[in-house]
Amino acid sequence: MREVEDMYEKIEQLLDDETKSNDYTVVMGDFNAVVGEGKEDGYFGHYGFGYRNDRGQMLVDFAK
């Protein structure tokens, strides 16, 4: 799981260093994350499927 945390830290660092506050940024990839059902503070819609796994929670936290 440490490798996944390191990946998110690297992405965050790149975003901090390379983007401006008024930029729109899209981060895409296969995160092996299951976000699951339910809305999440406007970051994810309510049309998910199943239950959130650990990587899904990490993705939600990253999006926030």
Dihedral pair phi/psi, residue 44, rounded to 5°: -135, 145
* pLDDT tens readout for residues 17-28: 988 888 888 889
CB 56 within 8 A of CB 63: no
> What confidence score (pLDDT) does residue 63 get?
86
What whole-number distance in Å separates Cα of residue 43 and Cα of residue 4? 20
> What confidence score (pLDDT) does residue 20 get?
85
Amino acid identity at 22: N
What whole-number distance in Å separates Cα of residue 29 and Cα of residue 10? 14
Say yes or no to pLDDT of 64 above 90: no
* pLDDT tens readout for residues 24-41: 888 898 898 888 887 777
Whole-structure pTM over 0.85, yes or no?
no
The mean of the pLDDT values for the chain is 87
